[in-house]
Structure 1
Amino acid sequence: MTTKSQQSAARRAFLKRTLAAAAVPAAATLIGGTLPGTAAAAEASDLPEFAPVPRSALGPALNADGYFVGRIKGNLYWVTDSYYQSMFLSTRDGVVLVDAPPSIGRNLLRAIDDVTRANGRPSKVTHQVYSHSHADHIAASAVLGKDVVRIGHTETRRLLLIDADPNRPAPTVTFDDRYTLRVGGERLELAYHGPNHTYDNIFIHAPDQETLMVVDVFYPGWVPFTGLAVSQNIRGWVTAHDEAMRYPWKTLVGGHVGRLGVRSDAALQQQYVADLDASTRATYDSLDPTPFFDRYGPSGNAWAIFKTYLDAIAQQAALPVTAKYTGMLAGADVYTTDNAFAMLESLRADYGVLGPSGIHP
């Protein structure tokens, strides 16, 4: 059993490493130096090393034009460039496209043409569904032209009218809770289950194909992107995992990475999030803030106190989770600290877990 003095020494050693790692000479790169991206930027050999990506995280090889298109089931297909994903239904009356990531761009039209030429169906996109308003998922919508019927959540329309981006025309058909889209003998069930990644992100279910598309929630084979998918409502984002698992799907289209998902992928991410939550709560409860107040309090630098303290919690909370999932989920060593920080801020702001900052008797 360790003594209090040993625990204190270990804590201070950890904090020393944390503060040293945080001491990045940012001013040197901006004042009298060069900006990132110029000729004097770091060589590739100077960049950090990360754990190898498990083969299980990788998707199918791309063709010469830089995309892959494959059948999910029946007349439902998906397209990827290994970073983003879209899906579409080939119907007897035209094509229903879900999202239009600009990184795939006009390759979406090539992929649709590949499929429709093979099955003898119309190649024209007649309907498009927006999962949510973010440009990285729908900013190639403009290549479809003006005659497409665009469908999205009411909030998506409101946000896109504010953005006034010609690459993302606002949907003309909107819904608040649920909407059934039927085109050419095919159907999609659209549903809004509350805010999660964004305040307009919806669930797109293809029941006949046993497929669910929910974007920026699950990352099959990978840990979530930085800051728990840069989500605007972390509590809702966590709840969205449970909501997705209530659907009777076999195939998941997550909007990102290079492969589709199955239910075991979703369950594994749920476990990752649960482990991150537990580790962050435990670290927040146990990491003593006194050294941070002692160091920065006398100068009145409140921001320095909380930055170093909260960064230290995130880094320490991430350690066991990173160790557990490295080799199991790609990017565990890349984004788990960032994800722990997002979890910490949500625990403080959304869940009322105040740790040492709470009211004590």
Structure 2
Amino acid sequence: MKTSQRLGAALAASIFATAAVSQEHAHGDHDALLTPYTNTGSIATPLTYIEKYADIPDASAGIPIDPDKGYAVVDLGDGAYFVTEGVYQVMFIEHDDGLILADAPPNIGSRLLTAAEEIAPGKPITHMIYSHAHVDHIGFAAEIAATFPDVEIVAHALTLDKLERAGDARRPLPSVTFDTEGKVFEFNVGGQALSLTYPAPNHQHGNIEIWHEASSTLMLIDVVFPGWMMWRRLALAEDIPGTFDTIRSLNDRYDFETLIAGHVGRPGTKADVDLQVEFMTDLHNAAAGALGSVTPGETVNPEDLANPWAVFDNYIDRVVIECVNTLTPNWEDRMAGFDVYIYDQCLAMEQSIRIDGSSL
């Protein structure tokens, strides 16, 4: 049995044994004063109003956005372009007869059409590639299709499955799909070559890597957040162990110079991937250490010992606080948004260790 499995079995037995200690206590008084956990550190806990979050480190700042245009375009060479409005990111590839657009976030919206005309005046968007099914990344696709009715949409078969279930008119169904895992789907049009790969379950089942070798550009969405703490709960990853595996292998599998990661205001680099691997390794170790060192049942009101949900909630709260306190000294100044989502990350990580058996 793996260490994580033994840990999970032992703590579950301990928690429910603690909860069974007293079945005779009456329910507590809900008007009792609220008392914070004694070891809460300097980072504010969730559902706490924050007047001012930590400043963004210079290394995490986005590229300048022209306020008149509302977006920025970066020429990556060999027909590849990075476009952002400061929060979301897409890639354009110019080919002989038009443009390929990878993702269509509604947050950028009609500015995608303006950027397309700026990049390749008079050329149509002939193809769209969906990185994955989430509406915040492809929710403007219907508008693209309405403007260019002949556009061909490419996605992984798992993305098609999700979109068929959703029945969302904002996200037209792809007309070209592939269903290989770990194998490359070669996509060639108008003198441009793209390699599409579904590495394994990660952020979302069907979330693919889009590789443009000519410009050394890799697009992988919602997995790496250049210079930033990941979005809450490890970016809502459907498969946390798979996300770990994908990130750890990224720099070895691709010789990229530019990473289009989907969020924040600048492209990423191999150094950004290394930083996130280092953080996630520390996160895993901090959560595992807290799960093993925090004792279930301590500090629980004796009148709540018959309530296993309360006992478990108290235990997990203290595990998460211990995890946050362990990480804060080394990380609070190294990633933008650390103070915003570090509790979410510790909560997601301890759960993955207990439930998925995540181990490094």
TM-score range, shorter chain: 0.7 to 0.9
Structure 1 residues 139 and 297: CA distance shift in structure 2, 3 A: same
SS at match of 1:290: coil
SS at match of 2:298: helix
User: 2-side partners of 1:352 and 1:76: how far apart?
Assistant: 37
User: 2-side partners of 1:105 and 1:81: how far apart?
Assistant: 10
Using the size of structure 1 for normalisation, the TM-score is: 0.82
The answer on 1:56 being equivalent to 2:59 is yes
The answer on 1:156 being equivalent to 2:159 is yes
Unaligned runs of 5+ in 1: 1-12, 26-45, 354-361
Structure 1 residues 166 and 272: CA distance shift in structure 2, 3 A: same
Residue 218 of structure 1: how far off its partner (Å)? 0.3
Verify the 8 A CA contact 2:98 2:120 in the aligned structure 1: no
Verify the 8 A CA contact 1:292 1:309 in the aligned structure 2: no
The answer on 1:233 being equivalent to 2:239 is yes
The answer on 1:187 being equivalent to 2:193 is yes
Structure 1 residues 211 and 48: CA distance shift in structure 2, 3 A: same
Structure 1 residues 22 and 262: CA distance shift in structure 2, 3 A: closer
State the partner residue of 2:29. Answer: none
Residue 14 of structure 1: how far off its partner (Å)? 8.6
**Greater percentage in helix:** 1
SS at match of 2:154: strand
User: 1-side partners of 2:358 and 2:271: how far apart?
Assistant: 31
SS at match of 2:120: helix
User: 1-side partners of 2:36 and 2:289: how far apart?
Assistant: 16
Structure 1 residues 274 and 22: CA distance shift in structure 2, 3 A: closer
Residue 183 of structure 1: how far off its partner (Å)? 1.1
Match of 1:248 among 242, 255, 260: 255
Match of 2:176 among 173, 176, 187: 173
State the partner residue of 2:116. Answer: 112
State the partner residue of 1:310. Answer: 316
Q: After the TM superposition, which parts of structure 1 deviate over 4 Å for at least 4 consecutive aligned residues?
A: 21-25
Structure 1 residues 161 and 316: CA distance shift in structure 2, 3 A: same
| Deviations 1:68-125 (CA, angstroms, capped at 9, x unpaired) | 11112221001111111000101111100000010000101111111113xxxx5210
Structure 1 residues 125 and 161: CA distance shift in structure 2, 3 A: same
Verify the 8 A CA contact 2:157 2:179 in the aligned structure 1: yes
User: 1-side partners of 2:295 and 2:333: how far apart?
Assistant: 32
User: 1-side partners of 2:46 and 2:81: how far apart?
Assistant: 48
Structure 1 residues 207 and 286: CA distance shift in structure 2, 3 A: same
2:128 maps to a residue whose letter is Q
| Deviations 1:227-253 (CA, angstroms, capped at 9, x unpaired) | 011111101111110232221111101
| Deviations 1:299-341 (CA, angstroms, capped at 9, x unpaired) | x322222222112211210123222122211011111111011
Query: What's the C-alpha RMSD, in Å, of the aligned pairs?
Result: 2.2
State the partner residue of 2:92. Answer: 88
Equivalences, count: 315
| Deviations 1:39-66 (CA, angstroms, capped at 9, x unpaired) | xxxxxxx643221100111111112131
Structure 1 residues 23 and 202: CA distance shift in structure 2, 3 A: closer
Percent same amino acid at aligned positions? 35
Match of 2:69 among 65, 83, 88: 65
| Deviations 1:144-183 (CA, angstroms, capped at 9, x unpaired) | 1242100000010111011111110111100012311111
Structure 1 residues 284 and 296: CA distance shift in structure 2, 3 A: farther
User: 1-side partners of 2:62 and 2:245: how far apart?
Assistant: 27
User: 2-side partners of 1:23 and 1:272: how far apart?
Assistant: 20
Verify the 8 A CA contact 2:139 2:171 in the aligned structure 1: yes
Match of 1:336 among 336, 339, 342: 342
